[in-house]
Amino acid sequence: MELHLQRTYFSRGTNGILKLEDSILCFTIELPWRDNGRGLSCIPEGKYSLEKRYSPRLKDHLQVEHVPGRTLILIHPANNALTELKGCIAPVSNLTGEGTGDGSKAAFGLVRRLVYKTIQAGERVWLVID
C-alpha cells in the first residue's frame, strides 16, 4: 500500500494532504523545510516505509524508516508543528494555518488503524512525499 503526501511549504510550517489512491485520508502538519536540520525541519521528499512503533508517552504510533540523516521520525498526533513536533508528521482533521491544524487525535487514529491493519495482513506500507 502507498500513501501519498502532497505538501505545501510555508515559512512557519508545512501543510499536506495525505491520500490513499485518489481519496483524501486527512491533512498533515510538519515543521517548515530547513535543509533537513535535525529537530528543525520536515524530512526530505522521497519514498519511505512505515512501521508500527510503541512508546509509553505516545502509545501506538508509526515510524518513518530510513530518512537520510535522521532518526526517530514519527507519525503521531499534534496540532501545532512549531511547538509540538521535532521533525515528525502529524495528521490533522482540518488545517487552521501554516503548520497548524485541529482534530489530530481523530485523524491520527484513522491513519494508524489503516496502516496497522495493512501491516498485520503482511503487506508493506509506503509513504511517498512529493
Q: What is the grid cell recorded at 42?
A: 520536515
pLDDT of residue 96: 98
Provide the CA 37 distance to its chain's centre, in angstroms. 17
Give percent above pLDDT 90 in the chain: 100
pLDDT of residue 83: 97
pLDDT digits (tens, 9 = 90+) for 32-65: 999 999 999 999 999 999 999 999 999 999 999 9
pLDDT of residue 126: 98
pLDDT digits (tens, 9 = 90+) for 85-95: 999 999 999 99
Q: What is the grid cell recorded at 102?
A: 485541529
pTM above 0.85, yes or no: yes
Query: Does domain 2-129 correspond to CATH entry 2.40.440?
Result: yes
With 0-12 CB in 10 A as exposed, 13-18 as middle and 19+ as buried, what is 56? exposed
- Determine the average pLDDT of the residues in 99-103: 98
Domain range annotation of the chain = 2-129
pLDDT of residue 101: 98
Instruction: Output the CA angle 50-128-74, nearest 5 degrees.
Output: 40
What contacts 80, CB < 8 A, 6 or more positions away?
29, 99, 100
Check residue 36 and give left, alpha or beta (phi > 0: left; psi -120 to 50: alpha).
Answer: left
